[in-house]
Amino acid sequence: MTTSVVVFGSCNMDLVAYVPVAPGQGETVTGREFRTVPGGKGANQAIAAAKAGAQARMIGAVGEDEFGAEIRRTFQQSTVDVEGLRTAPGRSGTAHIVVDDQGNNSIVVVPAANGTVDGLADGDEEIIAGCDSLLLQLEIPQSGVAAAAAAAKRRGVRVVLTPAPAVLLPEDLLRDVDLLVPNEHEAAVLTGHEDPERALSALLELVPEVVITLGSRGCVYGHRDGTRHEVPAFPVRAVDTTAAGDTFVGVLSTALGEGEEIPAALRRAAAGSALSVQRTGATSAMPSREEIVRFLVDR
Ligand code: ADP
Residues 258 and 1: beta-carbon distance below 8 Å: yes
Confidence (pTM): 0.97
Reported confidence tier of residue 214, pLDDT bands at 50, 70, 90: very high
Determine, yes or no, domain membership for 139: yes
CA distance 73 to 294: 29
Question: What is the CA(186)–ligand 1 centre distance, in A?
Answer: 14
pLDDT the model gives residue 299: 85
Q: Which atom of ligand 1 is closest in space to residue 214's alpha carbon?
A: 7
Nearest residue CA, atom 19 of ligand 1? 215
pLDDT by residue (tens digit) across 49-63? 999 999 999 999 999
What is the structure's pLDDT at 71? 98
Mean pLDDT value across residues 266-280 = 96
- What is the position in ligand 1's atom list of the atom closest to the CA of 164? 3
Distance 17 CA to ligand 1 centre (A): 24
CA 166 to centroid of ligand 1, rounded, Å: 17
Is 85 annotated for ligand binding?
no
Q: What is the distance in A from the centroid of ligand 1 to the CA of 117?
A: 28
Average pLDDT over residues 164-180: 95
Sequence-distant (6+) residues with CB within 8 A of 31 are 17, 18, 19
**What is the band of 251 on the pLDDT scale with cuts at 50, 70, 90?**
very high
DSSP lists the bridge partners of residue 273 as none
What per-residue confidence (pLDDT) applies to 29? 97
Residue 89 lies in a domain: no
Complete edge-to-edge strand list for the sheet that includes strand 12-18: 33-39, 12-18, 93-99, 105-110
Q: For ligand 1, which residues put their CB under 6 angstroms from it?
A: 183, 213-216, 218-219, 233-234, 236, 238, 241, 244-245, 248, 270, 273-274, 277
- How far away, in angstroms, is 6 Cα from ligand 1 center? 23
pLDDT of residue 103: 79
Ligand 1, atom 22: closest residue by C-alpha: 216
Residue nearest to atom 9 of ligand 1 (CA): 215
**Helix 41-51 to helix 66-77 angle, to the nearest 10 degrees?**
20
State the chain's mean pLDDT as an integer.
96
What does the pLDDT read at residue 42?
98
Average pLDDT over residues 260-267: 98
CATH of the domain at 202: 3.40.1190.20
How many residues can be counted in the chain? 299
Average pLDDT over residues 136-149: 98
Q: Tell me, yes or no, whether 77 lies in a domain.
A: no
270: domain range?
Answer: 4-9+41-60+118-297
To test the ligand 1 pocket, which listed residue (107, 135, 189, 216) has its Cβ within 8 A of the most ligand atoms? 216
What's the average model confidence in pLDDT over 6-24? 96
pLDDT above 70 as % of the chain = 100
51 is in an annotated binding site: no
pLDDT at 282 over 90: no
User: Is 44's pLDDT higher than 90?
Assistant: yes
**pLDDT of the residue at 104:** 84
Number of domains in the chain: 1
Mean pLDDT calculated for residue range 17-44: 96
Mean pLDDT for 72-88 is: 98
State the average pLDDT over residues 74-89. Answer: 98
| Residue 101, annotated as binding a ligand | no
Active site residues: 246
Beta bridge partners of 55: 4
Task: Choose which residue among 240, 277, 279 to substitute to test ligand 1 binding: the one with the highest number of ligand atoms within 8 A of its C-beta.
Answer: 277
> pLDDT above 90 covers what percent of the chain?
93
Q: For atom 16 of ligand 1, which residue has the closest CA?
A: 270
pLDDT digits (tens, 9 = 90+) for 90-108: 999 999 999 998 878 899 9
DSSP per position, 100-164: -TTS-EEEEEE-GGGGG--SPPTTHHHHHHTSSEEEE-SSS-HHHHHHHHHHHHHTT-EEEE---
Q: Let me know if residue 74 belongs to a domain.
A: no
Transcribe 206-248 into DSSP letters. TSSEEEEE-GGG-EEEEETTS-EEEEPPP----S--TTHHHHH
Which of 273, 280, 295, 299 maximizes ligand 1 atoms within 8 Å of its Cβ, making it the mutation to test the pocket?
273
Binding site annotation covers 240?
yes
pLDDT of amino acid 102: 86
What's the rounded Cα separation, in Å, for the pair 251 and 255? 6
Ligand 1 geometric centre to CA of 293 (Å): 18
Rounded mean pLDDT, 238-254? 94
Residue 136, domain member (yes or no): yes
